[in-house]
Amino acid sequence: MTTVTNYERWPEDEGVRSSGEWHEPPELLLERMRSKIGSVLYGKEEVISKVLAAFLAGGHVLLEDVPGVGKTMLARAFAAVIGGQFKRIQLTADMQPADVTGGSVWDGRSGSFLFVPGPIMANVVLADELNRTPPRTQSALLEAMEERCVTTDGESRRLPEPFMLIATQNPWDYEGTFALPEAQTDRFMMRLSIGYPSVEHEVRLLAALADNRSVDPSGLKPVVAVEEWRRMQRECKTVHVHPDLLPFAVSIVSETRAAVELEAGASPRASRDWLRAAQATAYMEGRRFLLPDDLLATAEPVLAHRLTVLPAYAASGQTAATVLDRIIRSTPMPASVAGRRRR
């Protein structure tokens, strides 16, 4: 847990705790969730924390990584600790939209069409190798991600609550991959990378396998019930935001739209997602007020994947992350909140 030093409560923060009592403080439950997921994904505490923050904020996560580093394990473990239903979609080049959303089939007994739900109808859905399927099938996920429903045969059907999507994509230069449409990339709250384990953690993984002590992620016991998780999602939206932090965040987002290195900047949806992710980060630490560092800690995973670097600047080594870092460093923080920093 992060310690905040030299802090005095802002007057606006009084009375922002939500009503109702928990049997345990939510931050302790969330810490236990992180610990349980960490028992199957060794040494990836930072990634686990960011995934939890994104889902707590009601967002979706795009994992861009090489195969075999634990992306499926992470999704299964998360579904288990909230007691939710997990479904996996292995996306391929010949997959059709109905293979994701479901569709109607003729039932000879009843003499009518019946709707057969697709794998998107679950609390936690893993869309594996999203960029191996054509854009038409990728677009089948757009409505589900934003509207929390799917439309088939002219009828809209609500998805389960909560609904969270983890999509994985292979590096862009892998054979047989399609680029993700910008509209879809923008609907992911965060883009993260798990990365290879350290030598120490890979030895620990092999030792657990050799001794038959490895943990099946789907066998993890729930830490919270689905309704408790939904309550956490509602409560984290009430985390207080100092009014002066909002212009600071908007200034950074606006600058991405004007930066000479960038072809495309961040959208208003990005601003919304950034604020929600920062609120969730504060909530996970047991605070009901936002610190500037909550915004700074979530800036890159929320904003960088929405930025497109012009080829001339990309050739010189510029990336979305480095451009964003320059913008943040050059944007002055309001004096009224600059002292509310972690030591």
DSSP state of 268: H
Q: What pLDDT, on the 0 to 100 scale, is given for residue 136?
A: 79
Q: Which two tokens stand for residue 7?
A: 């802090």
- What SS3 class is residue 200? helix
Rounded CA-CA distance 266/256 in Å is 6
Q: What pLDDT, on the 0 to 100 scale, is given for residue 184?
A: 84
Structural domains of the chain ordered from first start: 19-236 (3.40.50.300), 237-338 (1.10.8.80)
Cis before residue 162, ω within 30 degrees of 0? yes
The neighbour count for residue 209, using CB atoms within 10 Å, is 10
Q: Which amino acid is at 36?
A: K
Write the pLDDT tens digit of every residue in 70-122. 888 999 999 999 999 999 999 888 888 888 888 878 778 888 878 888 899 99
Rounded CA-CA distance 122/330 in Å is 43
In terms of Cα–Cα distance, which of 281, 284, 286, 323 is closest to 298? 281
Alpha helix (H) residue ranges in the chain: 26-38, 45-56, 71-81, 98-101, 135-138, 140-147, 182-185, 199-210, 226-236, 245-258, 268-284, 292-303, 311-315, 320-330, 335-338
Q: Are residues 169 and 133 in contact, defined by beta-carbon separation less than 8 angstroms?
A: no
Q: What pLDDT, on the 0 to 100 scale, is given for residue 129?
A: 87
DSSP state of 333: P
Cα distances (Å, whole numbers) of residue 231 to 26, 145, 203, 235? 10, 20, 39, 6
Rounded CA-CA distance 316/261 in Å is 11
Beta strands in 129-193 (DSSP E): 149-152, 155-158, 164-169, 190-192
Q: Tell me the whole-structure pTM to 2 decimals.
A: 0.87
Q: What pLDDT, on the 0 to 100 scale, is given for residue 16?
A: 40
Q: How many CA atoms lie within 13 A of 152 on its CB side?
A: 26
Q: Which amino acid is at 213?
A: R
Integer-rounded Cα Rg, in Å, for the chain is 21
In terms of Cα–Cα distance, which of 49, 76, 122 is closest to 297? 49
Q: What pLDDT, on the 0 to 100 scale, is given for residue 1?
A: 38
Parts of the chain with a pLDDT under 70:
1-20, 171-178, 339-343
What percent of the chain has pLDDT above 70? Answer: 90
Task: Give the distance, in angstroms, between the CA of residue 275 and the centroid of all CA atoms in the same chain.
Answer: 13
Q: How many CA atoms lie within 13 A of 79 on its CB side?
A: 25
